[in-house]
């Protein structure tokens, strides 16, 4: 693994920011778009389905977060691609969830919110297709009001995991629900990756983020985990989102909040899709519970160590691709990410937690 690419966008109008990113990485964005073309096709989505859903998503984004619509349009222009291709990347979770089978469970998140006034400690794995090893980067975005957002995301997608200098962090886990395949919501809906970025752009606290996320209709399921540190107090919460509704989760009494890829809230768990396809998400959660039960005053390295576990050790928290597997089945931990909530920065390691001490990582603040 190599050191992750880092790109900093200085203060600029949203369209200009997107265009500069597109011009800086036209080949990377084109490669990511071509990869998802193949993945969409393998999932059963016809080209007209992709075009229709991407432009429908862009229409909703334009009404809900015009700045991000301008940014997406600018990326397309800068990279020399049709608008629908960049819109499709930002709606890739919705398209894959709508037309394909439930995606393999991916991503495990650990957040520790101490009760003694110390800042939260966080770590997450991002497990995805090995064809995306070079398809992600760390993007630093300077806003005119002085806020800075750092996000680990894919080329062409506006955001995913991240933190802002207001002191709010966000971790991201895909979920799957039977309602993901139901008819699209009658009203506007927002792609979950766009929602994640908008939270980082506009919110300053866990409570604000929870309010925004629960008020936003979605067409695909995900879990957004928030953490902040203000006035000598750490706060964390997770929102389970689905087209059927949302639910709020709080940390355990010891301050730990754990997320894998299944619904925990009973009312939503009845429509569970990912856990039905692959019960590995439940095994990962159980291993995380066991490994955090004995941790007191953990630091970031402790959380990475808790995530260092393979299938033959009880659960596939750290994922390695099988090269002979078919397209869409070659799962790999592409990144291990920790957030510095109090400092407004993050560290992104290219690879799984088992190589955290061996490979390079990008740190931004």
Give 238-297 as a DSSP string: EEEEETTEEEEE---TTSEEEE-SS--SHHHHTTB-HHHH-THHHHHHHHHHHHHTT-SS
pLDDT tens readout for residues 42-81 = 989 999 999 999 999 999 999 999 999 999 999 999 999 9
Radius of gyration (Cα) for the chain, nearest Å?
A: 19
Domain 108-364 -> CATH class: alpha beta
Please state the domain extents for the chain. 9-99, 108-364
Q: What Cα–Cα distance (Å) separates residue 91 from each residue in 54, 61, 122?
A: 6, 10, 27
pLDDT tens readout for residues 299-353 = 999 999 999 999 999 999 999 988 777 776 788 999 999 999 999 999 999 999 9
- For the chain, 365 residues long, the average pLDDT of each consecutive 10-residue run is 88 97 98 96 93 96 98 98 98 92 76 96 96 96 96 98 97 95 83 98 98 97 97 96 97 97 95 90 97 95 96 93 77 95 96 83 80
Model's pTM, two decimal places?
0.96
Architecture of the domain delimited by 9-99: Orthogonal Bundle (1.10)
User: How far is Cα 280 from Cα 276, in angstroms, rounded to an integer?
Assistant: 10
Q: What is the pLDDT of residue 102?
A: 53
């Amino acid at each position: 693994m190599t050191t992750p690419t880092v790109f900093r966008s200085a203060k600029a109008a949203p369209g200009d920011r997107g265009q500069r990113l597109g011009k800086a990485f036209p080949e990377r964005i084109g490669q990511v778009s071509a990869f998802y073309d193949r993945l969409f096709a393998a999932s059963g989505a016809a080209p007209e389905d992709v075009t229709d859903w991407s432009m429908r998503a862009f229409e909703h984004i334009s009404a809900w977060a015009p700045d991000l619509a301008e940014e997406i349009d600018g990326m397309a222009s800068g990279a020399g691609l049709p608008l629908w291709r960049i819109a499709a990347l930002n709606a890739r979770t919705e398209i894959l969830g709508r037309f394909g089978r439930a995606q393999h469970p991916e991503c495990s998140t650990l957040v520790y919110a101490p009760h003694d006034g110390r800042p939260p400690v966080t770590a997450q794995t991002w497990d995805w297709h090995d064809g995306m090893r070079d398809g992600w980067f760390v993007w630093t975005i300077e806003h005119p009001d002085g806020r800075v957002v750092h996000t680990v995301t894919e080329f062409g997608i506006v955001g995913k995991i991240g933190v802002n200098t207001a002191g709010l962090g966000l971790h991201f886990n895909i979920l799957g629900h039977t309602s993901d395949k139901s008819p699209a919501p009658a009203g506007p809906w927002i792609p979950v990756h766009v929602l994640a970025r908008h939270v980082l752009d506009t919110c300053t606290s866990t409570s604000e983020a929870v309010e925004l996320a629960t008020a936003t209709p979605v067409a695909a399921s995900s879990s957004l985990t928030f953490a902040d540190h203000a006035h000598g107090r750490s706060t964390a919460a997770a929102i389970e989102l689905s087209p059927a509704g949302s639910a709020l989760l709080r940390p355990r009494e010891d301050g730990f909040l754990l997320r894998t890829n299944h619904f925990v809230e009973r009312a939503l768990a009845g429509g569970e899709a990912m856990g039905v396809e692959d019960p590995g998400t439940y095994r990962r959660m159980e291993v995380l519970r066991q490994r955090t039960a004995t941790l007191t005053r953990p630091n970031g390295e402790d959380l990475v160590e808790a995530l260092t576990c393979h299938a033959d050790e009880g659960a596939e928290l750290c994922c390695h691709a099988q090269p002979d597997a078919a397209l869409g089945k070659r799962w790999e931990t592409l990144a291990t990410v920790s957030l510095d909530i109090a400092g407004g920065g993050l560290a992104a390691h290219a690879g799984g937690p088992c190589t955290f001490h061996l490979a390079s990582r990008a740190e931004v603040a």
